[in-house]
């Protein structure tokens, strides 16, 4: 392309017969007002229209939470393309917490944290060892309680018994197949880690000093839900259904991803760890959205619906006890609420105690 040619140094003897360098075809013709310059401009316009997103979207200042989840890791037809996309998503997610993470325009530094002495950037993002065992187990168990109905329904419909399931779970060949399957890696590892890293570990430390803990929990999921709208562009581009059905499914997906994002943000703030939201995200990707229609048509629908209701009731009862901050030690992100105004920080004590 002409833009790439502008960045290359001119080689000696590279000029053609007419003395014009082939490294600058578009620029020289455009300055002379020739026909070749118009062809180059039309070519660049056609290439720009083919791009679904502006090329500068991934280079926005601060962590670009709307740009990070855009690549569809499992959408490629070739296995090599899927692995390259997975590497791009992981690389971008790992670069986000760097120099772009800011609080009210002030960069967070490991040696000069704004919260309190001894608080590091990694601790604010949920990477710490204090209380990691309960932070790993309790949020996952709480999420399994919420999905008690779907789990009972899956166990009733599963052709395996408990012994067969344990044999498969402890078979190394099963995990080798999983780790070599790009779709499994995308749903269970890459997507949970990158999305929770961007929308919880990176975004919440920026929102809490500005809005307080409560508004941050309900603001962060809105960005998380909007980030899933790139599926609409893919479906419209490949005409995977009518326009009305595509937008209706997008609104539905935005709704439940926003609710789930609020739940994982709550878990992140109450535990101060990233591992809990990542495991809950991976578990929910595995179970999927509860099949309420199939539950109502199940041969044992009374029992299935009972476990659905029992799971929701137990979840509401255990939500605060199983996420009690006393299990997880000092919560670095709660100290950021001191930077807010007194009226905004009053509601933060219920989340941190």
Active site residue 231: no
Residues 108/281, Cβ–Cβ less than 8 Å: no
CB count in 10 Å sphere of residue 153? 24
Residues 216/204, Cβ–Cβ less than 8 Å: yes
Alpha-carbon dihedral sign for residues 90, 66, 188, 236: negative
Stated length of the chain? 353
Residues 151/127, Cβ–Cβ less than 8 Å: no
Query: Residue 107 forms beta bridges with which residues?
Result: 102
Query: Which residue reads 């479906």 in tokens?
Result: 235
Residues 191/73, Cβ–Cβ less than 8 Å: yes
Q: Which residue in the list 40, 196, 228, 281 is annotated as catalytic?
A: 228
Query: Which residue reads 């006393």 in tokens?
Result: 326
Active site residue 45: no
Radius of gyration, alpha carbons of the chain = 25
The CA angle 162-165-170, to the nearest 5 degrees, is 125
Residues 27/2, Cβ–Cβ less than 8 Å: yes
Q: Would you state the structure tokens that stand for residue 198, as one six-digit string?
A: 């961007």
In this structure, what DSSP letter does residue 11 have?
A: P
Alpha-carbon dihedral sign for residues 323, 324, 329, 331: positive
Which residues lie below 8 Å from residue 197, measured CB to CB, with a gap of 6+? 93, 94, 96, 97, 125, 274
Measured between alpha carbons, how far apart are the two ends of the chain, in Å?
Answer: 59
Q: Which residue in the list 45, 47, 130, 195 is annotated as catalytic?
A: 195
CA dihedral 312, 315, 316, 322 (to 10 degrees): 180
In this structure, what DSSP letter does residue 107 have?
A: E
What positions carry a catalytic annotation?
195, 228
């Amino acid at each position: 392309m002409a833009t790439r040619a502008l960045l290359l140094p001119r080689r000696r003897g590279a000029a053609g017969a007419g003395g014009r360098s082939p490294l600058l075809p578009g620029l020289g013709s455009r300055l002379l007002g020739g026909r070749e310059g118009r062809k180059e401009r039309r070519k660049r316009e056609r290439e720009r229209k083919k791009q679904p997103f502006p090329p500068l979207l991934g280079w926005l200042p601060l962590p670009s939470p709307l740009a990070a989840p855009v690549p569809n890791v499992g959408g490629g037809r070739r296995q090599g393309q899927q692995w390259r996309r997975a590497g791009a998503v992981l690389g971008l997610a790992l670069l986000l917490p760097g120099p772009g993470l800011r609080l009210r325009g002030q960069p967070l530094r490991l040696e000069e944290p704004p919260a309190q002495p001894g608080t590091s950037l990694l601790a604010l993002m949920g990477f710490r060892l204090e209380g990691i065992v309960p932070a790993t187990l309790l949020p996952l168990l709480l999420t399994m309680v919420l999905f008690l109905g779907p789990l009972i329904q899956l166990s009733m419909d599963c052709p395996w018994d408990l012994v067969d399931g344990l044999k498969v779970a402890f078979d190394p060949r099963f995990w080798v197949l999983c780790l070599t399957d790009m779709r499994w890696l995308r749903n269970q590892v890459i997507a949970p880690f990158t999305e929770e890293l961007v929308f919880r570990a990176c975004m919440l430390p920026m929102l809490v000093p500005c809005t307080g803990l409560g508004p941050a929990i309900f603001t962060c999921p809105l960005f998380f839900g909007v980030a899933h709208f790139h599926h609409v562009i893919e479906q419209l581009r490949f005409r995977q259904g009518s326009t009305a059905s595509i937008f209706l499914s997008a609104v539905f997906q935005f709704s439940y991803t926003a609710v789930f994002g609020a739940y994982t943000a709550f878990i992140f703030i109450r535990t101060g760890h990233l591992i809990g939201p990542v495991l809950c995200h991976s578990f929910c990707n595995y179970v999927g959205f509860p099949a309420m229609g199939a539950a109502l048509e199940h041969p044992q629908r009374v029992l299935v619906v009972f476990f659905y209701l029992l799971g929701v009731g137990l979840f509401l009862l255990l939500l605060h006890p199983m996420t009690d901050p006393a299990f997880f030690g000092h919560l670095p992100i709660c100290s950021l609420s001191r930077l807010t105004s007194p009226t905004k920080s009053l509601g933060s004590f219920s989340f941190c105690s």
